[in-house]
Amino acid sequence: MDGPGLAALRAPGLAAETSALSVERVSHSYGERRALEGVSLAVPRGGFVALLGLNGAGKTTLFSLITRLFDTRHGRITVQGFDVSRRPSAALAELGVVFQARTLDLDITVGDNLLYHAALHGIGRRRARERVAAVLEDVGLSDRAREKARRLSGGQMRRIEIARALVHEPSVLALDEPTVGLDVASKATIVEQVRALARARGVAVLWATHLLDEIEPGDQVVVLHLGKVLASGEMSAIIASAGAADLRSAFRALTGAAAPVPDAEEGGA
């Protein structure tokens, strides 16, 4: 299960310095139940890493730790070198997040949702308006700024959430199953837009998913299963090390579980 990404994982101290996002030997429990055990991964600056795992693998728990909704008690997480536990303000300022659950305020307009987010990052009104206009253009929804969020389709809401995560120009974008519950066309649009934005802005992306069709051949992949990282590296390396023909077979060989299908529905753990 070796791959190019593992070199960074074996030297966590180095990873923290050179990576945009670094997770080092992180464990987390809910009471007696172990949700994550010794999880390590690194997202290089401007890189795209897919965190692949079935429901209950621990992806959402890991996101809660990265975003400091939960405190990291075992291990270390850094964003742009800032420790999330010790320097949460600096770390969170560098992080843009799209949660698995919808987090738009449905009773206010799209523009107001984005302006609210800008204020939460201390961005003044004039600059905030400029940024909101720019990110809405990036996701192709400039014409929806004055509409109530409630009126948007699921796919449009997701794109607005991605736009919102980019308002403060983060270095790292973390997306927890952003395509859950969307139709095929909306999924494709979102995957495409995030990849394009990441390329254009040099933003590092951590993309959590259980859908294999969202992963491209050149992507770095981290396979998370029952709270543990089973494999990490470039997709082709993972397939080769598992002695499989494709990622689906490699996933099955690594986890012993059937690989998820593209139209599967989700509820994370």
- Judged by the rule CB under 8 A, the positions of this chain that interact with another protein are 30-31, 33, 35, 60-61, 64, 67-71, 73, 85, 88-95, 97, 99, 101-108, 112, 115-125, 127, 164, 168-169, 171, 201-202, 269
Please list the residues that pair with 208 across neighbouring strands.
51, 176
Q: How far is the CB of 266 from another protein (least distance, A)?
A: 13
One-letter amino acid identity for 14? L
DSSP secondary structure letter of residue 109: B
Q: Which is nearer to another protein, 100 or 255 (CB)?
A: 100
| Least distance (Å) between residue 82 CB and another protein | 10
Do residues 5 and 65 lie in contact, with contact meaning Cβ atoms separated by under 8 Å?
no
Min dist. Cβ of residue 203 to another protein (A): 8
* Residue 43: CB minimum distance to another protein, A: 16
Which positions ≥6 away from 227 have C-beta within 8 Å? 34, 35, 36, 37, 39, 57, 58, 61
Judged by beta carbon, residue 122 or residue 140, the one nearer another protein is 122
Choice between 165 and 250, CB closer to another protein: 165
Give least dist CB 111 to another protein, A. 11
Question: What is the closest distance, in whole angstroms, from the C-beta atom of residue 239 to another protein in the complex?
Answer: 32
Quick one: 117 or 187, whose CB is closer to another protein? 117
CA atoms of 176 and 188, how far apart (whole Å): 16
Q: Count H helices, E strands: the chain?
A: 10, 10
Nearer to another protein, 119 or 258 (CB): 119
Cβ distance to another protein smaller for residue 7 or 69: 69
- 33-25-173-5 Cα dihedral, nearest 10 degrees: -130
Q: What is the DSSP string of 85-96?
A: TTSHHHHHHTEE
